[in-house]
């Protein structure tokens, strides 16, 4: 593939040509889950976005030339709180959520990263980096805590493009009497009774959240590497702090050359948040739709832009895949995808542009020629779609419609009576129950019709 890759680099906030440090040894580090609860669709977006970037990099440079690291945070304040709330041990909680996370990755047809290190497996390296930062006078100890002194790093704020005062004013800075300055962040802190702890020069304790990614990226990719990715919410403070501690500990002028961040997901134009009561977990969809529908929905907008999640989006993606499966063929050997069709993905992962090209290839495949269908199927496979064979796709739809025609008609009759009595709450409830079982109903010209999604 001769085409150049362009990415929007958050460090400078502009689109740049991707030039690797070593084209035969490209490194990408992406912040993975904190395993305190099952992943939601906001977590799913970076999973799919960086899975596609991984595929694009391998297409350009070769499968053996790309190392993709995605960590698992298995020690954190959220994990401790969740284990208490759920009344299970931290070990049982993290094992369960990690297992569910891997199931969700498979459901979304994501490839496995090259390595998936856990924070708890790298504590000794975190202690070593903290010691180095103290020796180099970038960190200080107080009351068994260790803090990074932000003012000692002159480039702090360059990633988020804000000065220190703006960052402090616009964020929830942890208040502590142990700090010299409000903006300083913790590298190591003492553990309370029954909390995870490790021996260190500062007593029994555990690392701060930001430290693990600096340590694990260095372990697997070196002190300088190509791409660091994650959601926009990680730019500050997490990624800003990673840069500060890594560059200071490693005496380096750079950390990652390209910073790639995906936008947020909203639910019917409202921010997804626990306080809003609109958190949608990936697991919520598994008994309703094939994971490919979710995957297509997640890439329907450009990764940098917000993505509004609503029922219409899911319905449209379901219809699109139903149509595309009409041209599905089993791929027996590698099929070359014309460069002109791949082009949008090389231009800052323009997935909407690539999906438009897939529609063109689908129309071309309707000629009935096997070759056209092979190119179309292969182009879909490239971004993780049409990965189930056609029978599996159809079987999934049948399995999810676990309701007989007689039951559907009875439910529609019950709903019509509720509407006559102006009991719209019950009417909506029945519609939603049918939708959950894969049945879409439509009111038109005084009649109600139904069809399977």
Domain ranges of the chain: 6-265, 311-397, 405-452
User: What's the pLDDT at 398?
Assistant: 55
Query: How far is residue 183 from each of residues 154, 170, 297, 327, measured CA to CA in Å?
Result: 14, 12, 38, 57
The torsion defined by the Cα of 339, 45, 243 and 95, in degrees rounded to 10, comes to -120
- Residue 290: which residues within 8 A CB-CB, separation 6 or more? 321, 388, 393, 396, 397
3-state class (DSSP) for residue 63: helix
Residues forming beta bridges with residue 16, ordered by sequence position: 7
The torsion defined by the Cα of 332, 334, 336 and 337, in degrees rounded to 10, comes to 80
User: What's the pLDDT at 167?
Assistant: 74
User: What's the pLDDT at 333?
Assistant: 87
User: What's the pLDDT at 86?
Assistant: 94
List the structure tokens of 399.
Answer: 């399995």
User: What's the pLDDT at 368?
Assistant: 82
User: What's the pLDDT at 344?
Assistant: 98
Distance of CA 63 to the CA centre of its chain: 22
DSSP per-residue string spanning 3-42: PPPEEEETTTTEEEE---S-TTSEEEEE---BTTS--BHH
Fold assignment, 311-397: 1.20.120
Sites in the chain below the pLDDT cut of 70 = 1, 169-173, 273-275, 397-404, 453
List the structure tokens of 149.
Answer: 């002194």
DSSP 138: S
* Chain position carrying tokens 């609109």: 278
Fold assignment, 6-265: Rossmann fold (3.40.50)
| End-to-end CA, the chain | 39
Query: How far is residue 312 from each of residues 161, 353, 453, measured CA to CA in Å?
Result: 36, 20, 12
């Amino acid at each position: 593939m001769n085409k150049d890759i362009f990415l929007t680099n958050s460090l400078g906030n502009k689109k740049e040509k991707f030039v690797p440090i070593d084209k035969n040894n490209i490194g990408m580090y992406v912040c993975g889950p904190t395993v305190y609860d099952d992943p939601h669709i906001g977590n799913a977006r970076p999973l799919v976005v960086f899975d596609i970037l991984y595929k694009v990099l391998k297409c350009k440079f070769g499968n053996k030339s790309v190392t993709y690291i995605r960590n698992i945070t298995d020690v954190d304040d959220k994990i401790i709180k969740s284990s208490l709330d759920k009344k299970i041990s931290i070990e049982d909680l993290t094992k369960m959520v990690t297992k569910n996370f891997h199931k969700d990755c498979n459901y979304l047809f994501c490839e496995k990263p090259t390595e998936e290190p856990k924070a708890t497996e790298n504590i000794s390296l975190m202690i070593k980096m903290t010691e180095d930062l103290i020796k180099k006078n970038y960190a200080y100890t107080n009351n068994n805590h260790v803090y990074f002194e932000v003012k000692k790093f002159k480039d702090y704020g360059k990633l988020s493009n804000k000065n220190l005062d703006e960052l402090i004013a616009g964020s929830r800075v942890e208040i502590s009497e142990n700090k010299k300055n409000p903006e300083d962040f913790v590298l190591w802190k003492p553990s309370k009774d029954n909390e995870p702890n490790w021996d260190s020069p500062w007593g029994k304790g555990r690392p701060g959240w930001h430290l693990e990614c600096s340590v694990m990226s260095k372990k697997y990719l070196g002190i300088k590497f190509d791409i660091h990715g994650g959601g926009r919410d990680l730019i500050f403070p997490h990624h800003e702090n990673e840069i500060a501690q890594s560059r200071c500990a490693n005496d380096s002028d750079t950390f990652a050359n390209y910073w790639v961040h995906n936008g947020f997901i909203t639910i019917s134009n409202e921010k997804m948040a626990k306080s809003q009561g609109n958190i949608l977990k990936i697991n919520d969809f598994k008994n309703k739709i094939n994971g490919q529908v979710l995957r297509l929905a997640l890439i329907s907008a450009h990764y940098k832009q917000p993505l509004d999640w609503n029922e219409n989006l899911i319905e449209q993606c379901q219809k699109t895949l139903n149509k595309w499966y009409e041209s599905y063929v089993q791929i027996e050997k590698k099929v070359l995808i014309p460069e002109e069709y791949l082009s949008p993905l090389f231009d800052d992962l323009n997935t909407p542009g690539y999906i438009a090209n897939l529609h063109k290839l689908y129309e071309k495949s309707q000629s009935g020629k096997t070759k056209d269908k092979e190119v179309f199927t292969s182009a879909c496979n490239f971004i993780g779609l049409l990965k189930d064979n056609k029978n599996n796709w159809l079987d999934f739809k049948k399995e999810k419609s676990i309701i007989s025609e007689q039951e559907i008609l009875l439910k529609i009759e019950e709903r019509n009576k509720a509407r006559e009595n102006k009991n719209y709450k019950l009417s909506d409830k029945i519609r939603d129950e049918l939708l959950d079982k894969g049945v879409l109903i439509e009111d038109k010209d005084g009649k109600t019709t139904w069809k399977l999604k």
